[in-house]
Amino acid sequence: MPNEEKPEITDSEWEVMRVVWALGEVTSKEINQVLQDKKEWKPATTKTFIGRLVKKGMLQTEKSGNRFIYTAAVSEEESLKTLKAGLFHHICSRAVGKTIADLIQEATLSHADIALLEDALQTKKKDAVDEVACNCVPGQCTCRKDHGKNCKH
């Protein structure tokens, strides 16, 4: 599957986007107020990341008097979707189940979260396959090492 035309966002840029998603319309000063507490960023650091996000098309900017107001050009929901797709894009389709199980093990979950996961698993049970096919290209496949199986690449 070729990579979608979505910009990659660094961890620092995520920090900025989270502020914009939470507050809506913000100035760089307001973004910095949040992130100087959390990350000890200087205003110049915040401005650098804002500039990169504008370039990537993640932030929109509008001039109001002598200030710039920033708003999100991409929703949080859409960005999370890209992030989740990206995670599984970097691993073999055969390793996805184990990776999800590991994520669950590491997460702090409420009873409601667990009920949600149980529902999701019940639904997935209906179209479970006997064996997930490897989607690696030759030279990236580790099936032989991981599962003792040769792939038909």
Under 8 Å CB-to-CB from 124, ≥6 apart: which residues? none
Note whether 91 binds Zn ion by CB under 5 A. no
- Spell out where the chain has E strands: 59-64, 67-72
Does residue 74 contact residue 65 with C-beta atoms inside 8 Å?
Answer: no
Q: How far is the CB of 101 from Zn ion (least distance, A)?
A: 17
Q: Which of 138, 141, 150, 152 binds Zn ion (CB under 5 A)?
A: 141
> What's the min distance (Å) between Cβ of 74 and Zn ion?
31
Amino acid identity at 146: D
Q: Is 31 in the site for Zn ion (CB under 5 A)?
A: no
Beta bridge partners of residue 62, listed in sequence order:
69
State the Cα–Cα distance between residues 141 and 134, nearest whole angstrom: 8
97-136 residues in contact with Zn ion (CB under 5 A) are: 134, 136
Instruction: Please say which residue, 59 or 134, places its beta carbon nearer to Zn ion.
Output: 134
Q: Which of 52, 69, 143, 147 binds Zn ion (CB under 5 A)?
A: 143
Binding-site size for Zn ion (CB under 5 A) equals: 6
- Residue 104, number of CB atoms within 10 A of its CB: 12
Assess 96 for contact with Zn ion (CB under 5 A): no
By the criterion CB under 5 A, which residues form the site for Zn ion?
92, 134, 136, 141, 143, 151
